[in-house]
Amino acid sequence: MNRNVVETIVGALVLLVAGVFVFYAFSRSDRSGPDGYEITARFGRIDGLKRGADVTMSGVKIGTVTAIDLDRNTYQAIVHLAVSSSVPIPTDTNAKVVSESLLGGMVIVLDPGGDKTMIKSGGEITQTQDAISFTELLAKFMFSGTGSK
């Protein structure tokens, strides 16, 4: 009987510590909450971009990719971005899918335009630049030699 009480107390402590870790992880996670807004962008190609990828402007993270869908009519990728409400995005902003590093994943880079009107929540970035496949770029470089005869 005494052993069962000790096991129950230890089990409760383990669950309590696990709950504290989960609470801490959620409170410290870098996710957009109610203070952000969502916009979309359409790309012809997003090789390697995943949900949760960073959205940056001038090298500073301002949001994350929340979802990726396929437009079944145009076959374009629709990327949903959650952006911090403290960062207004001009309507003529350009969105690019770029590699984070040679070994890293892909990120969305926003180059702001000069327009005075801003994209509202639910709006769309119309100027986009597709991802460039590193393997295709390497193949072009390797096999585009003019060969001397």
pLDDT one-digit tens code per residue, 105-147:
889 999 998 999 999 999 999 999 988 877 777 788 888 765 5
* Prediction pTM value: 0.70
Tell me: do 22 and 73 sit in the same domain: no
**Cα-flanking dihedrals φ and ψ of residue 96, to 5°?**
-125, 145
Residues 137 and 3: their CA atoms lie apart, in Å, by 66
Kindly state whether residue 146 falls inside one of the protein's structural domains: no
Tell me: do 62 and 121 sit in the same domain: yes
- Cβ–Cβ < 8 Å for 32, 54: no
Confidence of residue 1 (pLDDT cuts 50, 70, 90): low
Number of independent structural domains in the chain: 2
Tell me: do 21 and 41 sit in the same domain: no
Kindly state whether residue 140 falls inside one of the protein's structural domains: no
Tell me: do 13 and 58 sit in the same domain: no
Kindly state whether residue 126 falls inside one of the protein's structural domains: yes
Range of the domain at 55: 36-134
